[in-house]
């Protein structure tokens, strides 16, 4: 190879994966973790490079969640959970914390209709006395993939074809035919809840397992659920066409008009709580975000209420520049070893620094509302007024000190460096239980949506056979109905 004559072109692609600097990649499916479950190691350069490139694909709008609407309000604690967490904003019933919430669609561009079948984002920023806590979730309790190594590919499959700029079903069918873990989310995505009526009638989920730590240092895994007090309502296909055809911003308008009229949207926050000592007793991995936690075993416990009672003052300042980050934790709440959550800790802040600049946390909508102090300044668009002479730590000339130590999970981690999948995948049980819980007409609509997806002219017979095989393992009658209507057999 003559390095002076070579120029980048897909015509020179190798037949195996490589990094941007040309090194071979032997595993493009799994992150490098400590042991089989994690946490993820920062030395996984391939993961960091893959995420960093993905996060810089679009300017200036968000790569995902570009279409969104925001509102402000408060969160009020209604039930005492101080035995589970020492988080200050959850310290006692009656405590209120100001919040800003952003609802969004995931895949489509900033001006797209809000009636498209798509997951919805449900992100809440709590302005607490101990810093911002961002609970960044969706309207589904599960996600399509469990490892962040697959996340850019999953979004690429949903995004428009790079050649035609048209979203095409065959791309979705093709990619996810390799990912049976996606069945749990497709049991939501192609269900009636795939198109919420509006944001006020939409559930929210933290999706990941998080960790609560109390003052004594005891840890519990938790999952967060937002339940709208006005109930869950969705649009079927014909309704979505009618509503979207008359107003492509119907959900944004509904949110704004409801608040302006004093009809304040409200949600109840519930948690599910799991003792980490019991996590091995399930037939799935509780930290796998493609799985829900059974509510009959781990019931929902009420925590508080979220009320949105003020519209934003400026769409650009408080929606487009509003930046969330799952890494923003407060004492008493921590991460889990969920592989995708671990990668989001890096990816979101990296995205915001690229999109809004290194000082995005100085923007009023993103800045903490409590006193804070560090030496992170200068750089593009810094507008923090400073007249200090000392910008290092420690110093005899600056009395700033470490904060009081707060409890963190102290689990001992052992394991070898590995790129692997989790041991208990169990991809078929939960979507089967969900499908069988529906009324027959709801099952028929679900099947009809899959028939439409699988009859795309670019979907091959092999693809159909794979998906029929998957859905047969989910539910035998579901697989038989799909096979009959598609005149195909499962590849089992």
* DSSP code of residue 58: S
Residue from 226, 318, 249 nearest 105 by CA:
249
Helix, strand or coil for residue 376? Answer: coil
Which pairs with CB-CB distance under 8 Å and at least 24 residues apart come from 135-139? 135/206, 135/224, 136/324, 136/325, 136/326, 136/344, 136/348, 137/204, 137/205, 137/206, 137/207, 137/224, 137/226, 138/106, 138/204, 138/205, 138/207, 139/193, 139/196, 139/202, 139/203, 139/204, 139/205
Say whether 445 sits in a helix, a strand or coil. helix
Of the listed 46, 65, 220, 225, which one is catalytic? Answer: 65
Alpha-carbon distance 200 to 154, whole Å? 28
The reply to whether 138 belongs to the active site is: yes
| Residue of 132, 138, 325, 427 marked catalytic | 138
- 234 three-state secondary structure: strand
Binding site membership: which residues? 348
Closest CA to 50 of 28, 72, 35, 34: 28
Strands 219-228 and 266-274: antiparallel
Which residues are known binding-site members for heme? 348
259 close to 302: Cβ distance less than 8 angstroms: no
Contact 176, 190 (CB under 8 A): no
Please indicate whether residue 65 is annotated as part of the active site.
yes
> Residue 317's closest CA among 260, 365, 382?
365
The catalytic site residues sit at 65, 138
């Amino acid at each position: 190879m003559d390095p002076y004559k070579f120029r980048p072109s897909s015509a020179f692609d190798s037949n195996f994966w490589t990094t941007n600097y040309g090194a071979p990649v032997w595993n493009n499916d799994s992150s490098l973790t400590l042991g089989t479950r994690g946490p993820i190691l920062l030395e996984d350069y391939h993961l960091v490079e893959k995420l960093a490139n993905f996060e810089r694909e679009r300017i200036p709008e968000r790569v995902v969640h570009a279409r969104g609407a925001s509102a402000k309000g408060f969160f009020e604690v209604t039930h005492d959970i101080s035995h589970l967490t020492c988080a200050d904003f959850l310290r006692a019933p009656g405590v209120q914390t100001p919040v800003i919430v952003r609802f969004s669609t995931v895949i489509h561009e900033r001006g797209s209709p809000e009636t498209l079948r798509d997951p919805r984002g449900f992100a809440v920023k709590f302005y607490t006395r101990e810093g911002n806590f961002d609970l960044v979730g969706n309207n589904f309790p599960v996600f399509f993939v469990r490892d962040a190594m697959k996340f850019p590919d999953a979004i690429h499959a949903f995004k428009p074809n790079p050649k035609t700029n048209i979203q095409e079903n065959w791309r979705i069918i093709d990619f996810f035919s390799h990912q049976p873990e996606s069945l749990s989310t497709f049991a939501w995505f192609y269900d009636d809840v795939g198109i919420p009526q509006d944001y006020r009638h939409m559930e929210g989920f933290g999706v990941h397992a998080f960790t609560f730590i109390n003052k004594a240092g005891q840890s519990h895994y938790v999952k967060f659920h937002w339940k709208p007090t006005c109930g869950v309502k969705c649009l079927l296909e014909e309704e979505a066409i009618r509503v979207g055809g008359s107003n492509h911003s119907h959900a944004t308008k509904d949110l704004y008009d409801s608040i302006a009229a004093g009809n304040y949207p409200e949600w109840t926050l519930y948690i599910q709580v799991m003792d980490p000592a019991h996590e091995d007793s399930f037939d799935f991995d509780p930290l796998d975000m493609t799985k829900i936690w059974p509510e009959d075993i781990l019931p929902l416990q009420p925590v508080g209420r979220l009320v949105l009672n003020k519209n934003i003052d400026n769409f650009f300042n408080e929606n487009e520049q509003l930046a969330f980050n799952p890494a923003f934790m407060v004492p008493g709440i921590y991460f889990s070893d969920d592989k995708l959550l671990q990668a989001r800790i890096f990816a979101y802040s990296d995205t915001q620094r690229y999109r809004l600049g290194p000082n995005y946390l100085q923007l009023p909508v993103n800045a903490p509302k409590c006193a804070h102090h560090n030496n992170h300044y200068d750089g593009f668009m810094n507008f923090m007024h400073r007249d200090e002479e000392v910008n290092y730590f420690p110093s005899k000339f600056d009395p700033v000190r470490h904060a009081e130590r707060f409890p963190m999970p102290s689990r001992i981690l052992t394991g070898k460096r590995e790129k692997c999948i989790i041991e208990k995948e169990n991809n078929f049980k939960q979507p089967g239980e969900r499908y069988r819980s529906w009324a027959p007409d709801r099952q028929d609509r679900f099947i009809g949506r899959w028939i439409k997806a699988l009859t795309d002219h670019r979907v091959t017979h092999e693809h159909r056979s794979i998906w029929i095989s998957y859905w047969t393992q989910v539910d035998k009658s579901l697989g038989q109905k799909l096979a009959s209507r598609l005149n195909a057999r499962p590849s089992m």
